[in-house]
Structures are given as C-alpha cells and as structure tokens.
C-alpha cells in the first residue's frame, strides 16, 4: 500500500522545471552587476558567494524577518532579496518557504505581490493541503541550477567541486531531510533536473565515490570547522542580528545615525564565508561585500498565527493579507510566521513607485 506522500506525489512524478520560461520571466537572476540583500545564514551566504563569484553582484545588507541593515550608499539600487520572499510587486526576491493556504482561493493581490519572486512552491502551485510536498532543499540549490542552465552552452559552464558537498548538504539541514523524506527529495531533484549532465549538482547528489560513512565523516569535519567559529549563543554558520524579541544584536550605532556590524561578529562571519568559499570555489571577495558598515537600520514587527490565537483558514489568511505583510512563511501546518513593515518601511525608489 503506497504511503500518504507517495499518493500525493502520484501525478507529479514527471514534473520538471522549465528553465527557459523561468529566465524569460525573471531575466534579472542571471544578469551581471546587481545588488542583493541576504538572509544572514549559511544559505544566504552561499547565494551571495555564488552571485559575487559568477555574476559580480554586490552584497549590500541582510534581512532576518525582524530587521534589516542595508548599506545607505546602495538603497536606491533596486536590490534583490536572496533567500527570502518579499510580498511587494516592485521588489525582486527569491525564496523557498510555503506561502499559500489554498491555491483555489488566493487573495486577489497574491500573484501581483509575488510577481517578481522566484519561488519553487508557487511554481508547482503547492499550498497548505500539500504541505508535505514543499521544497526540501535550500535556495542555493535552485539558484545554482538556474545559473548553470543559463551557462550550459557557454565556454565557461558552472562547475561545482566535490569539496562543496558538506556546505551544500549542511545548509538548511538538507543532510537530515535527504533520509527523512526521501520520496519528496527525489521528486524535487527530478523537478530541478539535477540528473541532467549540464547541472553541476548532479556530481553533488549523485556522487558514487561518497559512501554513507565518507559522508558522515565529511559532515562531522565540517561541523567541527563550524564549531571553531561559534561562540556562546552564536553559531558560526550565521550572523546573529536580532534577539528572539527583535532587539538588534551585533549592530552598533554611530554618531552619524548609521550602523555597522560589530567587528568580532563581522570577523566570524567572514571566517565562515572564507571557509565555504574555499570549498565551493566561490571565493569571498571583500570588495563585493559592502554589508558591514554605513548601514541603515530598519526595524519591523514579527508575529505568528499561534500567538494571535488564529487558525490557518481561508478567511484568516485573507484578513492577514489585508494587513499588507512584508513577508511570511508557513512553518507548519498550523502556524504562519510573518513580518509587518512597522515601525519602519523600506525606502527603495522602486518600492515607493509600486507601493
């Protein structure tokens, strides 16, 4: 008898991502010389390293759902958010959370709000009813596949070395998901067309030279490398910018009214970036990471349905969207965590034009 997840996947086994259509709709993702804002964790770091190395993008700040810090000199550069969906028509973003409650009863402005967002769950029209089928990998896996597809016929295709396996399996807990939800992972690997020769992730996920024991040993070595960077209450694979209550952390205000990242936190982040940059061959380039000083600070309001004593229903979701959230994620079948643009609002020119 097939499992519940196999039943849900029954009519989705042949789905594959149409990269040509994606690039036609979102050409900016493979353009050179853009500016981006990252999530301050290993997935965001990997995305920043890739786009700096391959597309000469500059990293100008971070957004962690409670606050943002963005280099004041680049606020009007129409930045792109990597590893986090932004519900604003004029802002380009990319993420992989579950966002939709019911695909047949979307709020009227839902598609418009995410019209500039690259989002795998939305590509497949997944909602709360198919929560178990949500994208199980990290943003970097989709981003690397997109970049690789765009370069597959060039003289300089994207190559990812075997040494990148630990960070690419570590990020977002992918190494745990592989064996916990194998049916769903295999389906998504097929969807991303990782089995095709042009995709450098084929060597990562279909690597015959890595036994289970070898992988365990490599992951253990990676954890220990990470732990050398970690300090009390701050893991080495992320940049802590806020406490659980939303108060800023490792962000120092100056007399000018702008901020900078505390020097020891910056140095730990760069140490981790340099480590994973070496493993992936996406070297950390200081000139491209303009995200440590001259920062404008934005504070937001974080909430969730459980704290609001709300159930995830079509009506509750519609009322929630009417509050004009900046971003959100369905973190389980019974909770949505969200961010409201209060007390601060972003000040991007294109944001003002479309908001």
Q: What is the CA angle 37-353-29, rounded to 5?
A: 40
CB of 72 closer than 8 Å to CB of 290: no
Contact at 8 Å (CB) between 165 and 175? no
Structure confidence at residue 255 (pLDDT) = 84
pLDDT at 355: 47
Query: Can you give the pTM of this predicted structure?
Result: 0.96
Stretches in the chain below the pLDDT threshold 50: 355
d(CA 5, CA 328): 25
pLDDT in the model for residue 35: 98
Query: Which of 98, 113, 133, 117 has the alpha carbon at shortest distance from 29?
Result: 117
Cβ atoms of residues 121 and 134 within 8 Å: yes
Q: Is 246 left (phi over 0), alpha (psi -120 to 50) or beta?
A: left
CB 126 within 8 A of CB 133: yes
Which stretch of DSSP H or E encloses residue 60? strand 58-63
Q: How many CA atoms lie within 13 A of 230 on its CB side?
A: 12
Query: Do residues 79 and 172 make contact, with C-beta atoms less than 8 angstroms apart?
Result: no
How high is the pLDDT of residue 1? 62
Tokens at 2, concatenated: 């097939």
Structure confidence at residue 2 (pLDDT): 67
Tens of pLDDT along 207-220? 988 899 999 999 99
What is the spatial distance between Cα 130 and Cα 265, in angstroms, rounded to a whole number? 39
For the CA atoms of 137, 141, 142, 146, what is the dihedral angle to 10 degrees?
Answer: -170
Q: Which two tokens stand for residue 122?
A: 């939305």
């Amino acid at each position: 008898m097939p499992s519940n997840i196999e039943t849900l996947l029954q009519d989705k086994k042949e789905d594959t991502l149409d990269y040509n259509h994606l690039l036609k709709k979102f050409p900016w993702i493979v353009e050179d010389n853009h500016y981006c804002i990252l999530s301050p964790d290993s997935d965001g770091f990997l995305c920043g390293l890739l786009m700096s190395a391959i597309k000469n993008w500059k990293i100008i700040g971070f957004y962690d759902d409670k606050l943002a810090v963005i280099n004041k000199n680049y606020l009007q550069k129409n930045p792109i958010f990597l590893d986090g969906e932004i519900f604003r028509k004029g802002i380009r973003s990319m993420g992989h959370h579950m966002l939709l409650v019911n695909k047949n009863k979307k709020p009227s402005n839902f598609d418009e709000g995410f019209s500039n967002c690259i989002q795998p769950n939305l590509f497949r029209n997944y909602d709360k009813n198919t929560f178990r089928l949500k994208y199980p990998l990290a943003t970097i896996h989709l981003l690397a596949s997109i970049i690789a597809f765009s370069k597959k016929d060039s003289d300089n295709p994207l190559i990812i070395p075997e040494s990148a396996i630990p960070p690419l399996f570590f990020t977002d807990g992918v190494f745990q998901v592989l064996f916990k939800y194998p049916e769903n992972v295999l389906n998504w690997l097929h969807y991303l067309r990782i089995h095709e020769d042009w995709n450098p992730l084929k060597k990562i996920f279909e690597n015959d030279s890595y036994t289970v024991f070898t992988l365990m040993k490599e992951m253990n070595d990676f954890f220990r490398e990470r732990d050398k960077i970690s300090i009390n209450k701050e893991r080495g694979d992320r940049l802590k910018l806020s406490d659980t209550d939303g108060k800023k952390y490792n962000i120092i205000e100056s007399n000018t009214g702008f901020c900078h990242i505390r020097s020891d936190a910056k140095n730990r982040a760069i140490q981790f970036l340099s480590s994973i940059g070496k493993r992936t061959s996406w070297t950390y380039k200081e000139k491209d990471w303009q995200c440590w000083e001259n920062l404008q600070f934005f504070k937001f309001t974080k909430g969730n349905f459980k704290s609001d004593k709300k159930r995830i229903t079509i009506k509750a979701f519609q009322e929630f969207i009417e509050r004009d959230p900046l971003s959100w994620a369905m973190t389980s079948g019974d909770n949505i965590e969200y961010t409201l643009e209060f007390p601060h609002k972003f000040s991007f020119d294109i944001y003002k034009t479309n908001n």
